[in-house]
């Protein structure tokens, strides 16, 4: 029997409590969940990618089947490298659905063995997005309410 490995990909700039919820729920569904921080070196981030990797790793110290990796290629190809057969994504609303629908078709084309699996957001976390957290941070506002660790 093969172990089920799910890749949870994203920019995670920064990782939020919404992301944490998807990872925790995913960790009960799959043998292993890899949080993949997609890093495009030509794009500037607000939060350093190595720092984010460390913070996310310590957030899941209590879960032995969660690991955090940084990757710099197409998500569908990275999934092949790590032998992930599942792509874990979160769905907040219809905007997410439209977007996820098209990228999952593209990913299926690139990697036919990869099955996308979607978890509906936990309602109190549905309003959280990395974009909003970045906006608050830029203007010096408190972000602790939205992020599972101190930044
Ligand atoms: P990307 O840069 O690929 O959009 P994100 O970091 O924004 O990556 O999100 C990664 C995944 O997490 C996506 O599937 C997104 O729908 C999901 N996600 C983001 N915020 C939430 C939330 N508050 N609740 C549930 N899922 C979420």
> What is the residue-averaged pLDDT of the chain?
96
Chain centroid to Cα 69, Å, comes to: 11
Measured in angstroms, how far is the CA atom of residue 1 from the centroid of ligand 1?
30
The predicted-structure confidence for 73-131, as pLDDT tens digits, reads as follows: 999 999 999 999 999 999 999 999 999 999 999 999 999 999 999 999 999 999 999 99
Residue with the nearest Cα to atom 9 of ligand 1?
Answer: 10
Containing 110, the helix (H) or strand (E) segment is helix 94-110
In short, whether 12's Cβ falls inside 6 Å of ligand 1 is yes
In short, whether 47's Cβ falls inside 6 Å of ligand 1 is no
DSSP SS3 for 86: strand
> In terms of pTM, does the model score above 0.85?
yes
- Can you give the three-state secondary structure of 9-59, one letter per residue? EECCCCCCHHHHHHHHHHHHHCCEEEEEEECCCCCCCCCCHHHHHHHHHHH
User: Hey, which residues are catalytic here?
Assistant: 19, 43, 92, 130
End-to-end Cα spacing for the chain: 40
């Amino acid at each position: 029997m093969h172990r089920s490995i799910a890749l949870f990909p994203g920019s995670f700039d920064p990782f939020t409590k919404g992301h944490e919820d998807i990872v925790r729920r995913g960790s009960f569904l799959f043998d292993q969940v890899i949080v993949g921080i997609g890093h495009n070196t030509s794009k500037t981030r607000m939060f350093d990618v190595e720092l984010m990797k460390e913070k996310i790793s310590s957030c899941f110290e209590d879960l032995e089947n969660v690991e955090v990796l940084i990757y710099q290629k197409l998500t569908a190809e990275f999934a092949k490298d790590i032998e992930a057969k599942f792509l874990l994504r979160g769905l907040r609303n219809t905007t997410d659905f439209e977007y996820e629908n098209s990228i999952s078709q593209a990913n299926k084309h690139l990697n036919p063995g990869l099955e996308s699996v979607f978890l509906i957001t936990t309602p109190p976390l549905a309003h959280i997005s990395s974009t909003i957290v970045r906006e608050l941070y830029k203007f010096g506002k408190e972000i602790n309410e939205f992020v599972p660790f101190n930044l």
